Structure 1
Amino acid sequence: MPSHILPVTNPNLHSSKQHSYLRIDPTTMPLKQNDPITSTRLVSSPFEDETIISVRPLLSRTPSFAGTTTTSSSASYQQRRRRVASENSLSSLSDEAIGQRQSLAREVDHAAPETFLLTRLSLKLLGYMGILVQYEKLELLRSIRIYSMDEWIRNEGLFSILLCNCSWAALVASVSNVENSGDFEGQFFMAESCEIRLVGYRWIMRFLALGCYSLMLFPGFIQVGYYYFFSGRVLRSIVYGDQPRNRLDLYLPKNTDGPKPVVAFVTGGAWIIGYKAWGSLLGQQLSERDIMVACIDYRNYPQGTMSNMVEDASKGISFVCNKIAEYGGDPNRVYLMGQSAGGHIAACALVEQAIKEAGEGGSTTWSVLQIKTYFGLSGGYNLFNLVDYFHSRGLYRSIFLSIMEGEESLRRFSPEVIVQDPNLKKAVSLLPPIVLFHGTADYSIPADSSKSFAETLQSVGVRAESILYEGKTHTDLFLQDPMRGGNDRMFEDLVSIIHSDDREAQAKDEVAPPRRRLVPEFMLQLAHRVSPF
């Protein structure tokens, strides 16, 4: 591109006919827009200072199109700006809508497998809720004699009959012959394989009792639920692992004057309906005593089996031990606690971790030495003694063994049996002090379970004790008593152990106000009477 050469009067010469030619950089030629007569250019000069030169243009500037005024040009420019802004706004709204649709799609993708698992669980439980009578061969069917349908129903305590691979008409035809021949005959026997699922009357009564029990405690559930969802001191669903249920809720004390002791709590739920929110009442009340609580969620059956539950609980405990300082907790004062099935899961995780640290297992991400005390609340620790008992209570052997990964795995998930292994003395010596709470009127898991485990631990050199509460059921210690308000023996025992090394906290506990009542006494008494637990 040719250089731009402009004639410039040399100030050192008096003659106007003599000119000096200076080279001008076209990139440094700003025009003065408000002067139609002259244009100011910054000219590169061989002199040290830059010279501003006014040059009269050869042609005056005119609008690009004849008849167009500056006002119309400005209006057109503003219109273009508005159009571009509108397009950008529409694009932004479109992107936001797409983002919302993608977010909704992700939520649906996440909810779909959870819904499938819950549906499959419901169907499986319905299948196990009755008395199963299966006749595989025709000869076996003919050998069964029932003399009276009324007697059959009365003896078995049946409420209704569900049939698989057989029609109701076939059963009616068969029953019509019972009174005459005392045997099943007719169309009923035409089925090569007939499965009769008999839903027991006792299960119907248990569901009714559960409904009444929940209704009696409903005022307390409402208040606890409000605190759980709307309190600023509850951090919900903190991720601790890569599984969908690897979440925990953190209950923070009101005072933040220093690191607080922490309770890592594993909730119960018969290994099937456990959920982290079940510990919200305990978390709320312990946080009022300057104790931080982490309620750990885990995979339930059939989403996972026992080994998955122990794995999830161990990951949650590891998170508490390694990350709790970021939330104001004291990593040197971590306590492990579990209730019912959660007590069993937490005990298995603790024993398994001790075995790993003793050199019998894989790598570890936390240490049993970080756990000051283990608290077991209404838990079961010897599955060999509980299989038949659970079967009689409605958790049938087949489904229980499915949860525990077969009969061959019962020993692996029985802490009371494992600690008696002479080859694991080193691992057993690493266990922290263990305190087991249990009610003597517990019909879900007998109190002997905690008593026997404590005695076994003592026999192998572990500091352990069982504290039994006379007349308390499976849920009294965990629900009814805390909702009653006032002084709660089990709660006070728990707090006193946690604060045993903190004189200042003990002084505060002595003057702590009594807890507020959540449910009227007559409703608590009714709940105690109708409780299916």
Structure 2
Amino acid sequence: MMSRRALLSVSALSVLTAACSPLGVLNGANRLTPGDGGVKRIVDGAAFGSDPRQRLDVWAPENATASLPVIVFFYGGSWKSGDRDGYGFAARALAARGFVVVVPDYRLVPQIRWPAFVEDGAAAMQWVAANIAAHGGDPGRIGVVGHSAGAHIALLLALDRRWGVADSIKAAVGLAGPYDFRPFEPGGAAEAALGNAPDLSDTQPIHFARADAPALLLLHGDEDTTVKPRNSTRLANAVTDLGGRATTRLYPGIGHIGILLALSKPFRGKAPVLEDASEFLLAQLTP
């Protein structure tokens, strides 16, 4: 008969090997690491549009007795990859801190180009405003969080009123986001996703900096060579120069993926990303 330790090892191995993607492996390891208990996915694949990519999940603390602040989390992937199933570790982490967390998918390049993924983000936000109260969330206390291309989407929604949801967003946290990144690298992901825009300045969150923007927390690793930290510092400076509220924090020794991994239990000690983001959002989304 196998020992308890051996059984646990077999269980851990089966979880990890069943997940074929790096994010799947991370989610498996995250589930096996203690912490973030009392959280469950309460909505799986709700439609906010007719396309198969226009679906979202909702995560929440179990046994919540009051309406909770809401976070809409947009994942990255250079506007061309990603799906909500890979980000359960991020949703669990944030929900365990007292939020209802929504993770939407959105259409990707090459199926679409600018501005379809931002339109999908806006449609997801509209679903949240209309439906989140039925799932324990407060539609008057909504914040957004995004990583990389997801931070680009989140900050455009928060800053640019043309998408129709900016006034419902009370706070925004960007993780390693591209906010001021022209000119595009020829043949690169930004050109593929955004290069068709009639006015390229419309693709840049910094173009929409304003004094009455929601409070911003822009987090970045100082060793990020994929999206340079200057994106965060320039956007924060643009907002504060106008009299708005924006803070930047740079984490030493952290790269582009490391700042996302720091939300997961196995890598949480690398940088206080979860603590900084959740404390900021709780403060900003307090009634």
Q: Same fold (TM over 0.5)?
A: yes
> Residue 308 of structure 1 aligns with which residue?
116
Matched, 1:278 2:97: no
Deviations 1:101-145 (A, max 9, x none): xxxxxxxxxxxxxxxxxxxxxxxxxxxxxxxxxxxxxxxxxxxxx
Unaligned runs of 5+ in 2: 1-19, 34-38
Matched, 1:334 2:142: yes
Which residue identity is paired with 1:402? A
Deviations 1:325-351 (A, max 9, x none): 011101121111111001111222233
Matched, 1:466 2:243: no
> Residue 133 of structure 2 aligns with which residue?
325
Aligned partner (choices 191, 200, 203) of residue 413 of structure 1: 203
> Residue 384 of structure 1 aligns with which residue?
182
CA 246–216 in structure 1, closer or farther in 2 if over 3 Å, else same: closer
8 Å contact kept, 2:76–2:148: yes
CA distance in 2, matches of 1:323, 1:464: 29
The secondary structure found in structure 1 opposite 2:201 is: coil
CA distance in 2, matches of 1:215, 1:289: 27
CA 457–339 in structure 1, closer or farther in 2 if over 3 Å, else same: same
Overall identity of the aligned pairs, in %: 26
CA 337–232 in structure 1, closer or farther in 2 if over 3 Å, else same: closer
Which residue identity is paired with 1:342? G
Q: Structure with the greater relative contact order (CA < 8 A, sep ≥ 6): 1 or 2? A: 2
Deviations 1:247-296 (A, max 9, x none): 11111112321111110111100110032223211111122222111001
Unaligned runs of 5+ in 1: 1-213, 357-363, 420-427, 504-533
Number of residue pairs aligned between Structure 1 and Structure 2:
261
8 Å contact kept, 1:442–1:473: yes
> Residue 276 of structure 2 aligns with which residue?
493
Which residue identity is paired with 1:369? D
Which residue identity is paired with 1:221? N
Which residue identity is paired with 1:478? L
Deviations 1:409-436 (A, max 9, x none): 32110121343xxxxxxxx344211110
| Distance apart, 1:471 and its partner CA | 0.9
CA distance in 1, matches of 2:132, 2:228: 35
The secondary structure found in structure 1 opposite 2:46 is: strand
CA distance in 2, matches of 1:297, 1:371: 19
Which residue identity is paired with 1:372? K
The secondary structure found in structure 2 opposite 1:471 is: coil
Aligned partner (choices 367, 375, 381) of residue 173 of structure 2: 375
Which residue identity is paired with 2:238? T
The secondary structure found in structure 1 opposite 2:142 is: strand
| Distance apart, 1:320 and its partner CA | 1.1
Aligned counterparts, 1:129-528, within 5 A: 220-224=26-30, 233-352=41-160, 354-355=161-162, 364=164, 366=165, 368-385=166-183, 387-388=184-185, 396-397=187-188, 400-406=190-196, 408-419=198-209, 428-480=210-262, 482-484=264-266, 489-500=272-283
CA distance in 2, matches of 1:317, 1:461: 26
The secondary structure found in structure 1 opposite 2:61 is: coil
8 Å contact kept, 1:240–1:248: yes
> Residue 16 of structure 2 aligns with which residue?
none
Which residue identity is paired with 2:204? S
Structure 1 residue runs of 4+, over 4 Å off? 214-219, 223-227, 485-488
Which residue identity is paired with 1:296? P
Whichever structure has more helix as a proportion of its residues is 1
Larger Rg: 1
CA distance in 1, matches of 2:56, 2:177: 21
8 Å contact kept, 2:147–2:176: yes
8 Å contact kept, 1:240–1:315: yes
CA 215–370 in structure 1, closer or farther in 2 if over 3 Å, else same: closer
| Distance apart, 1:226 and its partner CA | 9.2
Pairwise CA RMSD of aligned residues? 2.7
Deviations 1:481-519 (A, max 9, x none): 62336655111111212222799xxxxxxxxxxxxxxxx
